[in-house]
Amino acid sequence: MFARMFDDAPQNEWHDVERVIREDFGGKSPEEVFGVSYTNKPGSGIIETKARASASVAQVHWARLADGREVAIKVQKREIASQVGWDLWAFKVVMKVYTYWFDLPLYSLVPYITERLMLETDFVNEANNAEQMAGLVASEPRLNGRVYIPKVYRDLSSSRVMTTEWIEGVRLWDKAALTAPWQGGYGKGSPGAKGTPLSSPSLTTLSNGDLKPDRSGEWRGRNGKGGLGLSLKQVMTTMVDLFSAQMFLWGVVHCDPHPGNIFIRRQPNGQPELVLIDHGLYVSMTPTFRHQYCQFWKAIMTFDNASLNEITSSWGVKAPDLFASATLMRPYDGGDNSTRDRITKDLKGKTAAERHYEVQERLRQGIRDVLSEEENFPRELLFIGRNMRIVQGNNQFLGSPVNRIKMTGWWASRSLVDSKDLSWRERWRYGLLGSKIRQFLGWGGGMEDDLEMQMRFLAKDQFGVELQHGVFDG
């Protein structure tokens, strides 16, 4: 089901693909651009004219270049340029109607949303994002070796064609292949793990149908029932760590992390390696906003309602508990519940139809409160929320193996200490640098223990409740 949802959109015919390539490469044919041959010409590469994956914007073809490199050639569909324009026009009309008819301040968000979506059709932008993310991952010891970003071949790319290294891996939706016992041999990884070159069998060993080699036999075993033998908890831990670092440490966020854009490979040490593809939809956060977002999450985790109100007020949000609930994607129980009370009050004694209407009106007012000062509302939150919702869905699909909310909160708090653009005084003010010093001196358990203690103290002191270990599950 997931494969059809993400990778099986209708494909364009090869002549349409060839036309895009010719238009973007000065009239050169695919044979000339990629050095391939349709007739197995000696010294040339090969290419599949049937796409391996097809989505709404582009489709991906496998090829092996003359030098042996296997590549993924992502070609934008010819009709997208005009289709996106009409789709975004329809989106603007709908948002205009909602703004006028329901008195909701939504239309002011349209320019930013359309700008981000249009950038998805610019593959030069996507290549820039991919290379930037590869550099950030490589510079972070907590992620380097756990996350992999495919190489982009700029000389074979354009604004509508992007060529990257081919990735062999298991898609996130294939739980059986992720967890089935490993049959690839001790001390070996799955094909391509850690960027190792793929084996290149001769053409005579390939099947008559597909040109791309099938390497699943290297790790699925003779009966074909083997898998990567990985822990879903380790897989999701890597995913949450990656996207938390993007939000809180770097301020560069991939906003489309659905299962079709994530491959999993097994490293020789038996640990998972997450491969992230499709870097078209990104948002960037200013250092000031990124620090605020870190503080916002820390305030949620520690029930620091004063800080929560201060931060959300600076964003023009008048319903902090509602906004916190929307961020957590579950009710936030640390606030004063004023929004919930405002929504549900005066419902007693009314008919079902009256209650339904009243709740809708209160919810609309809640949206107005969140967007009460449109000029101050950070537009990036729209796409950051999209990222978090998809990651939540990924976690739920895998059976919720990790405490996503707690992990996200820890990353937010740690990033206030690790951020290189904060002064020592600011790091100390956030109350976390002292934890690292005490941990280094052996005087305490460190920042996570301090946060846990602070959460439990505030919950007991302000609300009279004892926090259980699963309070922030999600």
Q: Which amino acid is located at 125 in the chain?
A: N
The answer as to whether 469 is a domain residue is yes
In this structure, are residues 228 and 170 in contact, taking their beta carbons and an 8 Å threshold?
Answer: yes
**What's the structural domain count of the chain?**
2
> Contacts by 448-456 with C-beta closer than 8 Å and gap 24+?
448/410, 451/298, 451/301, 451/302, 451/409, 451/410, 451/413, 454/302, 455/301, 455/302, 455/303
Residue 274 near residue 262 (C-beta atoms within 8 A): yes
Domain interval for residue 116:
79-120
Q: What is the distance between the alpha carbons of residues 155 and 158, in angstroms, rounded to a whole number?
A: 8
Burial of 68 (0-12, 13-18, 19+ CB in 10 A): exposed
Q: Is residue 454 part of a domain?
A: yes
Q: Tell me, what's the pLDDT at 231?
A: 97
In a domain, 422, yes or no: no
Q: What is the pLDDT of residues 349-380, one digit of tens each?
A: 667 776 666 656 666 666 666 666 778 889 99
Reported as a single tens digit per residue, the pLDDT across 444-458 is 544 445 555 554 544
* pLDDT tens digit at each of 474 positions of the chain: 444 445 668 899 999 999 999 999 999 999 999 999 998 889 999 999 999 999 989 999 999 999 999 999 999 999 887 788 888 888 889 888 877 777 777 788 889 999 999 999 999 999 999 999 999 999 999 999 999 999 999 999 999 999 999 999 999 999 999 999 999 999 999 999 999 998 876 554 444 457 888 888 889 988 889 999 999 999 999 999 999 999 999 999 999 999 999 999 999 999 999 999 999 999 999 999 999 999 999 898 888 889 999 999 999 888 888 888 888 877 776 666 655 565 555 556 667 776 666 656 666 666 666 666 778 889 999 999 999 999 999 999 999 999 999 899 999 988 887 766 656 565 555 545 444 444 444 445 444 455 555 545 444 444 444 444 444 455
Last residue in a domain, options 120, 145, 171: 120
**The model's pTM:** 0.85
Per-residue confidence (pLDDT) for residue 208, from 0 to 100: 45
Question: Is 95 a domain residue?
Answer: yes
Whether 169 is covered by a domain: the verdict is: no
Mark which of 120, 143, 176 sits at the end of a domain: 120
Contact 191, 220 (CB under 8 A): no
**Residue keyed to tokens 């651009």:** 33
Residue 105, burial from CB neighbour count under 10 angstroms (0-12, 13-18, 19+): middle
Q: What is the pLDDT at residue 437?
A: 42
Q: Has residue 61 been placed in a domain?
A: no
Looking at the DSSP bridge assignments, the partners of residue 36 are 45
What pLDDT sits at residue 416? Answer: 84
- Long-range contacts of 52-57, Cβ-Cβ distance < 8 Å, separation of 24 or more: 52/212, 53/7, 53/8, 53/260, 54/7, 54/8, 54/9, 54/10, 54/11, 54/12, 55/6, 55/7, 55/9, 55/260, 56/9, 56/80, 57/120, 57/121, 57/280
Which of 120, 146, 172 delimits the end of a domain? 120
Cα-only R_g, the chain: 25
